[in-house]
């Protein structure tokens, strides 16, 4: 079984809340135990932010949201769960106690992951009766957007457990990386700790402020790291000669006195206050929730951009998002019966920050994207899905006419409808309308002609019966509808 059917989250703070949102938005029921009196509110706020982020992240049909249930006891929460995620505070004695309780109450085949950012799994599993199923599943904040999970086993963790955990992550849009040997702080936090120590010295010595330091990262190598990491970035820096040239050229710098990493800064009260004050100034009155939403919008924009790179194949985290969306499209999201008495409502989305121009309005090519997504949704209804395309046939759009009637603005809920105005064995003539979901007003329309093609032969070809049998009932029903206003217009035609 590679699918998580029910999850349990023990602890609902920053990380635990992120796990809860990740599971729920993948359609998984989640039971939660957290004795904190404000746990329900905290988790609810994190989930609300996650839902806003997902509305911007993908237009793929998410499954119905999983059921969220808060339980009064740990034992009740883990009952029946096949993935249990522990996210309690980072204290060895507490985590060991909680994990031992989980082990005693969980079903025999349940996987148990710990969100620890540095404790060794061997230490965590010491008192468990079934330590072979315990592993570290260390995510990155926000868990519902950042896809990486470091999977680390202890001395008693079985290889089957590691393999099972790795297989269950892609269906929820996450990438597991197996860390071969357990080591304090694993890999990601080791790298972050080195950068953090050096950063503290730069502030301590008044080389720069916290805002300047953050600007250095976010306007330069941070963007490179987001899509290519460290070593591949440096390989490119070596030019045509590659990594060997880079190491020969810059390797000697490791001997230069560029770092204080071997000399740990004294994080005394004065330095803590200095950093705190500068950080307050940098925030400029924005609340944590506002900063989280800004962070999420920025990450969505990066991920969406990376999804469209490399000739549309996607790159890095964008490629992973593309594959996750393909998984979602294959699942089909929440199934609804088709109402053929009116144009089909096929796409529901919101105007993402990545979609707007300097005026805050949706930019022109995003209209074409939504209309293209609408055509794709119709094609999936008639059986022209990814598997069909891979067999060498598809519909190609040969003509499009878009009318801009209103304006779509940042954050606006919009939906598209499709009416088939003509169809035969080779041609598909459609008329799409983009609506303001609140008022129903039409914002834009697109009339398109699509041809069924044999991609291998490179020419138009009749669609097979398996497609036509699904297309014809929709086309027949829509033939009884009035021709939509604006159909058949050409550019510049007077109203």
Q: What are the C-alpha distances in Å from 191 to residues 184, 185, 227, 314, 368?
A: 12, 9, 17, 26, 42
Write out the two tokens for 254: 């490791």
Contact residues for 142 (Cβ-Cβ < 8 A; gap 6+) = 18, 49, 50, 53, 292, 295, 296, 299
Query: Residue 26: what are its φ and ψ, rounded to 5°?
Result: -95, 5
Q: What are the C-alpha distances in Å from 312 to residues 124, 258, 322?
A: 43, 41, 9
Q: What are the C-alpha distances in Å from 131 to residues 4, 106, 192, 256?
A: 20, 12, 29, 46
- The reply to whether 301 sits in an annotated binding site is no
- The reply to whether 15 sits in an annotated binding site is yes
Nearest to 81 by CA among 125, 113, 51, 47: 113
- The reply to whether 16 sits in an annotated binding site is yes
- The reply to whether 13 sits in an annotated binding site is yes
Characterize the bridge pairing of strands 427-436 and 442-454: antiparallel
Q: What are the C-alpha distances in Å from 19 to residues 59, 139, 148, 299?
A: 21, 9, 12, 17
- Counting beta carbons within 10 angstroms of the beta carbon of residue 142, is it exposed (0 to 12), middle (13 to 18) or buried (19 or more)? buried
Q: What are the C-alpha distances in Å from 441 to residues 175, 232, 425?
A: 41, 49, 34
Query: Residue 221: what are its φ and ψ, rounded to 5°?
Result: -70, -20
Write out the two tokens for 486: 């604006």
The region, left, alpha or beta by phi > 0 then psi within -120 to 50, assigned to residue 492 is: left
- What number of other Cβ atoms are within 10 A of residue 488's Cβ? 11
**Do the beta carbons of residue 333 and residue 68 sit within 8 Å?**
no
Widest distance between CA atoms in the chain: 80
**Do the beta carbons of residue 164 and residue 111 sit within 8 Å?**
yes
| Residue with the two structure tokens 């990740």 | 22
- The reply to whether 11 sits in an annotated binding site is yes
Q: What CA–CA distance (Å, rounded) separates 194 from 171?
A: 33
- What number of other Cβ atoms are within 10 A of residue 163's Cβ? 12
Q: Which residues are annotated as part of the binding site?
A: 11-16
Q: Which residues are annotated as part of the binding site for NAD(+)?
A: 11-16
């Amino acid at each position: 079984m590679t699918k998580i059917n029910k999850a349990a989250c023990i602890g609902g703070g920053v990380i635990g809340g992120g796990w809860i949102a990740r599971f729920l938005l993948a359609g998984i029921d989640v039971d939660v135990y957290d004795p904190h009196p404000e746990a329900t509110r905290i988790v609810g706020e994190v989930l609300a932010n996650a839902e806003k982020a997902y509305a911007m992240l993908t237009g793929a049909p998410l499954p119905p949201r999983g059921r969220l249930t808060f339980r009064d006891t740990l034992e009740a929460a883990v009952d029946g769960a096949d993935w249990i995620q522990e996210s309690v505070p980072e204290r060895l004695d507490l985590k060991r106690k909680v994990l031992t309780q989980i082990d005693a109450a969980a079903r025999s085949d349940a996987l148990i992951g710990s969100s620890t950012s540095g404790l060794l799994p061997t230490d965590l599993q010491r008192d468990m009766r079934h330590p072979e199923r315990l592993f570290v599943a260390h995510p990155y904040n926000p868990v519902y957007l950042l896809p990486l999970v470091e999977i680390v086993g202890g001395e008693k963790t079985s290889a089957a457990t590691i393999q099972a955990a790795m297989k269950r992550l892609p269906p929820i849009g996450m990438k597991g990386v197996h860390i071969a040997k357990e080591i304090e702080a694993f890999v990601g936090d080791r790298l972050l700790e080195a950068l953090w120590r050096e950063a503290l010295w730069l502030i301590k010595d008044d080389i720069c402020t916290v805002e300047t330091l953050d600007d250095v990262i976010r306007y330069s190598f941070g963007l490179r790291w987001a899509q290519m990491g460290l070593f591949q970035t440096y390989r490119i820096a070596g030019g045509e000669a590659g990594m060997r040239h880079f190491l020969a050229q810059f390797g000697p710098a490791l001997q230069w006195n560029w770092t204080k990493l071997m000399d740990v800064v004294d994080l005394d009260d004065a330095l803590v206050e200095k950093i705190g004050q500068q950080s307050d100034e940098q925030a400029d009155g924005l609340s944590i929730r506002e900063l989280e939403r800004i962070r999420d919008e920025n990450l969505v924009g990066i991920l969406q951009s990376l999804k469209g790179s490399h000739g549309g194949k996607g790159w890095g985290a964008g490629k992973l998002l593309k594959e996750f969306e393909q998984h979602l499209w294959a699942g089909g999201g929440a199934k609804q019966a088709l109402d053929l008495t009116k144009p089909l409502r096929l796409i529901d989305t919101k105007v993402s920050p990545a979609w707007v121009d300097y005026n805050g309005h949706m930019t022109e090519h995003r209209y074409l994207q939504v209309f293209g997504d609408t055509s794709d949704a119709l094609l999936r209804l008639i059986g022209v899905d990814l598997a069909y395309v891979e067999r060498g046939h598809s519909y190609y759009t040969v003509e499009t006419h878009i009318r801009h009637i209103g304006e779509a603005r940042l954050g606006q809920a919009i939906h598209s409808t499709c009416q088939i105005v003509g169809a035969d064995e080779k041609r598909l003539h459609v008329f799409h309308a983009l609506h303001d979901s609140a008022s129903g007003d039409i914002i834009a329309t697109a009339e398109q002609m699509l041809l069924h093609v044999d991609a291998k032969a490179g020419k138009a070809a009749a669609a097979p019966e398996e497609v036509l049998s699904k297309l014809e009932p929709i086309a027949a029903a829509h033939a009884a509808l009035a021709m939509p206003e604006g159909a058949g217009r050409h550019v510049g035609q007077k109203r």
